[in-house]
Amino acid sequence: MGEAKSLRVKCLSEVAWKDDARMRLDIRESGGLETDQYEVKWTPGNAAGVLNLIDAVDGDGNERKVLVDVGWDVNYVEEVLKREGVDVLLAEGKIDAVAITHEHVDHFFGLPALTSINPDFLLLIPAGFTEKGRERIRASGHRGEVREMPPGEAVEIFPGIFSYTFPKKIFLRVQNEQVFYVDLAGKGVVTVTGCCHPGILDLLDRARSLFPGKPLHGVYGGLHICPFDEWTEEHDALIEKMKGYGVGLYACNHCTGTVTVRKMREAGLPVLSGSGRFGSKTDEYVGCGDVVEF
């Protein structure tokens, strides 16, 4: 297994949707969290989407760009891609892979915004995608390779950059979540996650088991600790456990929760702030357009 030479992650968008209450009501009115997401009557105009860009130099010295998740609303995603110059990278074939962390609407449904620019790219999906999800890929016009990542196995997609799919039943009838572990030379392990539905402790424990003896240099992405800020004593206990892992930097956002990042800071955990631009929900964590250098 190789070591990557450098890593930066750019948050293209951490805003999944515009109105939390409206999104939750859509789910309740459609039958609750056990409902098939494809049967939910989503309110028009509320969708946005999550997208991130890994920009790394791999263990062989090659620059690698991996787009992690593709958002939800196609028009929104098109605007984000143009704003951040990713549309040009796609058009010129400079995106080495596009990865869907999991099948939820806010991470996956924006795929046509990419294929309308260039339909020929490597697409990494976690095992367990539904047939409806696979049909959406086909209907998007995607013409590149679709590579299904096996659950419970670290796959080195480029030297020092690994995909790992957690076997996990997720609400709205979604299965499994793909994350990325980057073994960064001289620094340690960085993990990049979409929502971290398997849980932050499992995410960190897997990093330890895959890269024994290496420090946990950083964590990027949504951590799904308390996304709607409904804090409980169980969350306090979780934060206390997180302190024992010695993570060098938390560059979290999206579904982590604003109360969560405040509690993390109060506990002494190193949480990176953001700029609060482009519709980001807060400047208390990494937001849209922000770049994290690991």
pLDDT in tens, 135-147: 999 999 999 999 9
> Which spans in 63-120 are helix H?
74-84, 86-91, 105-108, 111-115
Domain that holds residue 34: 6-293
Asked if residue 1 has pLDDT above 90, the reply is: no
Q: Are 104 and 136 in contact (CB under 8 A)?
A: no
Strands 97-99 and 63-68, sheet pairing: parallel
Indicate whether this model's pTM tops 0.85: yes
pLDDT in tens, 22-62: 999 999 999 999 999 999 999 999 999 999 999 999 999 99
Q: Does the residue 264 lie in any domain?
A: yes
Q: How many separate domains does the chain show?
A: 1
The domain spanning residue 78 has which CATH number? 3.60.15.10
- Please classify residue 8 by burial: count the beta carbons closer than 10 Å to its beta carbon, then call 0-12 exposed, 13-18 middle and 19+ buried: middle
Q: Does the residue 70 lie in any domain?
A: yes
Q: Are 274 and 285 in contact (CB under 8 A)?
A: yes
Q: Does the residue 279 lie in any domain?
A: yes
Q: Are 215 and 248 in contact (CB under 8 A)?
A: yes
Q: Does the residue 1 lie in any domain?
A: no
Q: Does the residue 183 lie in any domain?
A: yes
Asked if residue 177 has pLDDT above 90, the reply is: yes
Report the run of H or E that residue 179 belongs to, with start and end.
strand 174-184
Q: Are 87 and 110 in contact (CB under 8 A)?
A: no
Q: Copy the structure tokens of residue 34.
A: 């056990």
